[in-house]
Chains A and B, each alone.
Chain A
Amino acid sequence: MRVEVQSEPFDPATELAGFGAKGDVGAIVTFTGIVRATGGLTGMEIEHYPSMTAKAIEAIASEAVARWGLDDCLVIHRYGVLSPGEQIMMVATASRHRAAAFEAAEFLMDYLKSRAPFWKKETGPDGATWVAAKDEDEDALSRW
């Protein structure tokens, strides 16, 4: 398991080198979140709670590993100033079978969205606004 909280950009392909390289791994699922340019968005700033962030993500990732018996799990999440087209974050899960890898990746995404201490502020034609959490993001946790 590896968790990285960083301001620097990352290259998903480089990060995945050697990931899940074990004899009994039969499935690797990866998800990468990108800054959209929708609605004339020109930038995004992500604030976080430095002393809590890695700890909170590690707890979420450990739960995914335990619950789905993952062979490996990777979470990278950026903070700071990002431009459209840049990667915000990625998760990767490795398991024997695909169902566990897919489900664990969805679980990670749902929990990172509402339980990892990040706050997004978008800059667009009308200035900068904090992204509001959606009710459906909170509801998504109940399925787990």
Chain B
Amino acid sequence: MLDVLYFAWVRERIGEPRERIETEAATVAELVDELRGREARYALAFSDLSALRVAIDQELAEFDSPLAGAREVAFFPPMTGG
């Protein structure tokens, strides 16, 4: 089981802050493809990956990063701290 978290407008488009999913996805990109195929709101949220960032277990990662052993994946827009 994988906890998937969404922040900022990604959270708003998907309509929930987190969910627990069962997945066989080997990489973040495979997980994204799986989510896109679910419903229109996911397809909308993930329509432009260049506008998204991803973290695996609270560390910034890439879309081709492997998911083996991951517990938590988070998707969000580029950060605007400071």
Q: Which residues of A come within 8 Å of B, CB atoms? A: 33, 47, 49, 51-52, 55-56, 77, 88-89, 109, 112-121, 130-133, 138
Counted as pairs of residues, one from A and one from B, with CB atoms less than 8 Å apart, the total is: 70
Tell me the interface secondary structure of chain A in the complex: mixed
Which residue of B11, B59, B79 is within 8 Å of A113 (Cβ)? B79
| Whole-angstrom distance between the Cβ of A112 and the nearest chain B Cβ | 4
Q: Which residues of B come within 8 Å of A, CB atoms? A: 5, 7-9, 11, 55, 58-60, 72, 74, 76-82
Which residue of A49, A52, A130 is within 8 Å of B9 (Cβ)? A130
Find chain B residues with CB under 8 A from A51 CB.
Answer: 58, 72
Q: Is the CB of B7 within 8 A of A89?
A: no
Q: How many angstroms from the CA of A31 to the CA of B11 in the assembled complex?
A: 31
Q: Is the CB of B8 within 8 A of A47?
A: yes
Question: Could you show 30 A-B contacts with beta carbons less than 8 Å apart?
Answer: A33-B82, A47-B7, A47-B8, A49-B5, A49-B7, A49-B55, A49-B58, A49-B76, A51-B72, A52-B58, A52-B59, A89-B81, A112-B81, A113-B79, A113-B80, A114-B78, A115-B60, A116-B79, A116-B82, A117-B55, A117-B79, A118-B81, A119-B77, A120-B80, A130-B77, A132-B78, A132-B80, A133-B77, A133-B78, A138-B78
Q: How many angstroms from the CA of A134 to the CA of B60 in the assembled complex?
A: 19
Q: How many angstroms from the CA of A55 to the CA of B9 in the assembled complex?
A: 23
Tell me the interface secondary structure of chain B in the complex: mixed
Which residue of B58, B59, B72, B80 is within 8 Å of A119 (Cβ)? B80
Q: Is the CB of A131 within 8 A of B80?
A: yes
In the complex, the chain B residue whose C-beta lies closest to that of A60 is B81
Q: Is the CB of A114 within 8 A of B79?
A: yes
